[in-house]
Structure 1
Amino acid sequence: MTKLAIDGGNPVRTAMLPYARQSIDDDDRRVVGEVLKSNWLTTGPKVKEFEEAVARYTGAAECVAVNTGTAALHAAVWAAGIGPGDEVIVPAISFVASANCVLYVGATPVFADISPDTLNLDPEDVKRKLTSRTKGILAVDFAGHPCDHDALRAIADEHGLIIIADAAHSLGATYKGRKVGTLQEITALSFHPVKHVTTGEGGMVLTDDADIAKRVRSFRHHGIDVDLHARHKTNSWEYDIVDLGFNYRLPDINCALGVSQLVKSDRWLERRRSIVATYHEALYGLPMLQLPEQRANGFSAWHLYVVRLNLEAITTSRSQVFAALRAENIGVNVHYIPIPWMTHYANLGYKRGQWPVAEGEYERVISLPIYPSMTDSDVSDVVTAVKKVLGAYSR
């Protein structure tokens, strides 16, 4: 048997393969350069152009660009009218921004468990977590696979709740033939470098409700009631602060990059699906692994490729498998530590042991590298390393 790199053997790769990374080409650099030569670096025409491009791509009526995905979530929760005394149900497994945004407005996150197949929010546990204070549901499309949005919608309609779709992972995905971006009243996107489309940092709020969009536009600009362009048209210097807002504007530099990236997003999505197909074929049947699932009613955007270790079939821990794969220069990651386990949330009174699926699955998840610019050789290296490491630790 080949000696593992962690034990002094030769690694599969000579350089680390990251779990994700951006893809930037000459077209991207050119459009950013054009903005740098223009009169507008922020609050200019590229912002509207990017918003309109995302609206066309998703079918959303209104799109409002902000400077991070977290800002998009914050703005969405605020625009939904959620505040002190309210509760919002969120999944126990997600990036922390999904719950932090609820705290930002003075409301309380209530963590629900996840479904064991897709690791998305479990509608049945959502029902169990409802109280008289529940105001909304924040539904995360984990790893790019859409939630069971219709089941969540039925719960929301019965109890008069608003749903915010956290689609940071799922731009380009579909659910029952409908594109992500129009599945709930409000959708939040992220354009971080590891996402499907990047603006460096950035986010967007999508909605068909013009009033919500107007509130978000004010919120991203300090709570000002009219923007610079509206004042310019009327030759007025007057404005008012109608709400406490933030400076969440996304500059034209970033938006130009987003416009250029979005043109390539479908091609990149096909590449992600090709990588997934290769992984599925090469790793299927290994008793040490449970591969990610895709429900028949949806097409995942495959932001992450999250496998789960069958711990009873190996002689070691997830931590050791993780370290061994990193030693082979495969940049695996773990998505995610349960949010209620974080120190800040523990200090707020959240106790471990209340989310058996989320807490159990966390102990065995590992994310394999997946991004469009991976070569076939890169993908082959991942497969080789996974088989090498799991073979060494198999029972």
Structure 2
Amino acid sequence: MSLTAASPDVSHNARPYLYGGEEAALTDALRARQYNHGPVTEEFEQAIATYLGVPETVAVASGTAALHVGLLATGVGPGHEVIVPSFTFCATIQAILATGARPRFIEVNPGTGCVEPSEVLAALTPRTRAVMPVLYGGRAVDLAAARPALDEQGVTVVEDAAQAFGSWQGEHRVGATGVVTCFSFGPIKNLTCGLGGAIVPRTPLEADTCRRLRGLGIVESAARRAEATTYRVDGFGMRVQMSPLNAAVGLVQLRHFHEAETRRRELWRAYAAALNGIDSVALVDADVDRTVPPLCAVRIPDGRRDRVFRALRDRGIGVGVHYPPNHTQPAFSPWYRPLPVTERLGREIMTLPFHQHLTLADADHAAGELRRALAGASR
């Protein structure tokens, strides 16, 4: 489908995009009759590693599982704190709590939605064991300025790169920059497996730890267990492997990823051009030349966001809110601390329809409706 073809498809905020080969790949995986973990999963892991330029990746059942396993593999547990932005999907925080650690919420730059090194350094305590930057909108986060202090204290960086598959940090893809990186391959991500995730470990030992954690703590591989009369469990583990069914979908998606990369950047730039000149809208900067954007976020100031949101939904425009701040959620109230920048951002943020079914004309139409809704909200 051409990005310039007319297609009124703005009623969804996000939608999965399939290229046509996924159904046949699923059928082949079903016929192989190995649904828990198998050669197709391992083929997907190696394909992702090759794409990123890293030695290996560990595929898991979801992006949330990737965060949970990644944190555990780096030694995060009870009594530890993890520095994390409040401005993220709640899955990020739930993964921290699942380790027995506690979140220490910090502010983000409202222009990017991402954390800054200065905020990370200001939040360090003796209990800090990890920092989890969230790559909002697919934008890479560079914590180089904070790394000496983090390294001195033994603090690990575990990236929540759920939205950032394919993006760049300097000369490297996100995931190849030397920190633990966790991806999501959920339904509406840049690359979907239907459901799935992956961890990029730093060392072979860390990779082995991730594999045991995802596979119930069992030491032997599935292939070795099939030829043995026993197996060994040497620690805690969960059943969060990626099914070959999901991996089969991901392999097809990866073969077409250049198309996803190109189209998503074109769509984001189309929105930026269409929104230019609307003084009461601030576009959250995705650094699109180096980012594969999964969304297009704007800020609606002056208390008008909710009225504009409702007006656009009434007009069939699938806007969303990504995300309400987590430090104000009831489940996370024990770790509340005032974050005025994030609280204001939470009142202003709104995401426009963004998926590969959209055309450039759709982006222009959605921006025009936003302009009209803003005018109505000002009266």
Runs in 1 of length 4+ with deviation above 4 angstroms? 13-16
Deviations 1:76-96 (A, max 9, x none): 010001111111101110011
Quick check: 1:388 aligned with 2:372?
yes
Instruction: Quote the residue 1:43 is aligned against.
Output: 37
Instruction: Quote the residue 1:303 is aligned against.
Output: 294
Map 1:97-108 to 2 at 5 A.
97-108=91-102
Instruction: Quote the residue 1:331 is aligned against.
Output: 318
- Report the Cα offset of residue 55 of structure 1: 0.3
Instruction: Quote the residue 1:3 is aligned against.
Output: none
Whole-Å separation in 1 of the counterparts to 2:108 and 2:49: 30
- Report the Cα offset of residue 394 of structure 1: 3.6
Whole-Å separation in 2 of the counterparts to 1:181 and 1:209: 13
Whole-Å separation in 1 of the counterparts to 2:161 and 2:345: 21
Whole-Å separation in 2 of the counterparts to 1:72 and 1:243: 18
Quick check: 1:358 aligned with 2:350?
no
Whole-Å separation in 1 of the counterparts to 2:299 and 2:49: 36
- Report the Cα offset of residue 282 of structure 1: 1.2
Q: Is the 8 A contact 1:173 1:180 kept in 2?
A: yes
Instruction: Quote the residue 2:351 is aligned against.
Output: 367
Deviations 1:200-234 (A, max 9, x none): 111111123111110111111111111221234xx
- The worse-fitting range, judged by mean Cα deviation, of 76-85 and 286-295 is 286-295
Whole-Å separation in 2 of the counterparts to 1:110 and 1:333: 26
Instruction: Quote the residue 2:62 is aligned against.
Output: 68
Q: Which amino acid counterpart does residue 320 of structure 1 have in structure 2?
A: R
Q: Is the 8 A contact 2:214 2:240 kept in 1?
A: yes
Deviations 1:161-196 (A, max 9, x none): 110011100001111122101224211110111101
**Aligned partner of residue 37 in structure 1, secondary structure:** helix
- Report the Cα offset of residue 295 of structure 1: 4.8
Whole-Å separation in 1 of the counterparts to 2:9 and 2:311: 15
Instruction: Quote the residue 1:79 is aligned against.
Output: 73
Deviations 1:8-33 (A, max 9, x none): xxxxx987621111112321111111
Whole-Å separation in 2 of the counterparts to 1:43 and 1:280: 42
- The counterpart of 2:327, out of the listed 330, 340, 343, is 340
- Report the Cα offset of residue 119 of structure 1: 1.3
Q: Which amino acid counterpart does residue 164 of structure 1 have in structure 2?
A: V
TM-score (ref. length: structure 2): 0.94
Runs (5+) with no aligned partner, structure 1: 1-12
- Report the Cα offset of residue 380 of structure 1: 2.7
Instruction: Quote the residue 2:198 is aligned against.
Output: 204
Whole-Å separation in 2 of the counterparts to 1:39 and 1:276: 41
Whole-Å separation in 1 of the counterparts to 2:178 and 2:329: 29
Whole-Å separation in 1 of the counterparts to 2:259 and 2:290: 15
Whole-Å separation in 1 of the counterparts to 2:217 and 2:324: 34
Whole-Å separation in 1 of the counterparts to 2:328 and 2:263: 35
**Aligned partner of residue 223 in structure 1, secondary structure:** coil
**Aligned partner of residue 341 in structure 1, secondary structure:** coil
Q: Which amino acid counterpart does residue 393 of structure 1 have in structure 2?
A: A
Q: Which amino acid counterpart does residue 257 of structure 1 have in structure 2?
A: V
Runs (5+) with no aligned partner, structure 2: 1-6
Number of residues of Structure 1 aligned to a counterpart in Structure 2: 373
TM-score (ref. length: structure 1): 0.90
Map 1:149-164 to 2 at 5 A.
149-164=143-158
Change (3 A) 1:14 1:35: closer
Instruction: Quote the residue 1:147 is aligned against.
Output: 141
Change (3 A) 1:155 1:369: farther
Q: Please, what is the CA RMSD of the aligned residues?
A: 1.8
Q: Is the 8 A contact 1:112 1:122 kept in 2?
A: no
Q: Is the 8 A contact 2:283 2:298 kept in 1?
A: yes
**Aligned partner of residue 229 in structure 1, secondary structure:** helix
Whole-Å separation in 2 of the counterparts to 1:211 and 1:160: 18
Q: Which amino acid counterpart does residue 28 of structure 2 have in structure 1?
A: E
Deviations 1:105-137 (A, max 9, x none): 111111111112211012212111111111110
Quick check: 1:26 aligned with 2:17?
no
